[in-house]
Amino acid sequence: MKTIDDLQVAGKRVFVRADLNVPLDGTTITDDGRIRAVAPTIAKLVERGAKVIVASHLGRPKGAPDPAFSLAPAAGRLGEILGQDVAFATDTVGESAASVTAALADGQVAVLENLRFNAGETSKDDAERAAFADRLAALADLYVGDGFGAVHRKHASVYDLPRRLPHAAGDLIATEVRVLKKLTEDVKRPYAVVLGGAKVSDKLAVIDQLIEKADRILVGGGMAYTFLKAKGHEVGISLLQEDQVPVCLEYLARAEKRGVEFVLPVDVLVSSEFPDLKTKAPAHPDIVAADAIPADKEGLDIGPKTRELYAAKLADAATVFWNGPMGVFEHPDYAGGTQAVAKGLLDSDAFTVVGGGDSAAAVRLLGFDENAFGHISTGGGASLEYLEGKTLPGLAALED
């Protein structure tokens, strides 16, 4: 796979497929991590005299313009980070995009409006997607793929466009791939994996692979309650995917057979109502054993004994991959489990990888130094699919 160091970019129009899919509160960016992650690649291209055209998706608009999903706030923040003006095109391949990109001088940057405002970006029809890619290709001379969070999507700007232009991987994607290889090839052991988040169904495929590779798998978050149910425990009104219980039973049996520690919570914080995430009003949860959750209560975080247990399981690890929070970390009364896992990673001497948007957001929200971790991935779904052993369309296109 070529990198941007292999491209002659001076005076060229370079299309950078970035991931500027940041969370917004109205027009206010609440977490700019993805913008900061791609900024070094853009800055390098600027320094080398490229005319940089940045494109991304944001949210899930339905193939038509929607002001709620405009990339204008992201373009403004990118300009602040780069320390220079960034032009903004109010469409993707229309008059504004054509005029804004044509006006770029060497070392200048423009951002196109949300790619998903055009139905061709995400179309499952190859011809429709190709037609949109053709129009994007007309804007540029070279292509740089640096939106790792989207490389698992067979979208026009990710898969079709690099097949139409000389292309290379940006520094962010090159780093992501290098790090993920450390989790799949020649892994330093013990190798511990911490999985959280809401739905166990989102993680089953990666668990299937990790049972063959990891030494320990620690489970928290909403997905833990389906595993607890599989072990015969009452989970009250906790998040539960009843249809996944048989699969969870199978994975628990496979892990035991292979000698992989599969660690579930031993205690949890419960409440009869979900916390108010806007006011952050005190929630006053109860602490109960994981096998004694009351029928009218919901598990919302791992408990103090589980936090100690998980920290101990991470202490001697040489490699740790963490994807998914341990509870409703956005509320201070249920942030303790996620905080304990983050601290456990930092207290170990392991090579640590934080994967997934919620985990990365939690690290920042809870005040941890991002640079203290080995790597914070910008692609939750992409990271998981890579670990599952899947071929990612965006990476395959860059390797051609």
The DSSP bridge pattern shows strands 28-29 and 24-25 to be antiparallel
Place of tokens 């941007």: 4
Helix/strand/coil for 285: coil
Q: Strand (E) positions, 134-190?
A: 142-145, 167-169
**Residue 296 exposed, middle or buried by CB count within 10 Å (0-12, 13-18, 19+):** exposed
Give the distance from CA 137 to its chain's centroid.
Answer: 27
Contact 165, 144 (CB under 8 A): no
Exposure string for 173-206, b = 16+ CB within 10 A, e = fewer: bbbbbebbebbeeebeebbbbbbbbbebebbbeb
From the candidates 2, 36, 199, 390, which is the catalytic residue? Answer: 199
Q: Which of 17, 34, 77, 229 is catalytic?
A: 34
**Structure tokens given for 298:** 């919901």
374 CA to centre of own chain = 16
Q: How far apart are CA 266 and CA 255, in angstroms?
A: 18
357 classed as catalytic: yes
Between CA 234 and CA 163 the distance in angstroms is 53
Q: Is 364 a catalytic site residue?
A: no
As a whole number of angstroms, the distance between CA 155 and CA 279 comes to 39
Query: From the candidates 357, 379, 380, 394, which is the catalytic residue?
Result: 357
Strand 261-263 relative to strand 319-323, pairing: unpaired
Which residue type does 195 have?
L
49 classed as catalytic: no
CA dist 342 and 114 (Å) reads 33
Instruction: Say whether 199 is catalytic.
Output: yes
- Active-site residues, by number, are 34, 199, 357, 381
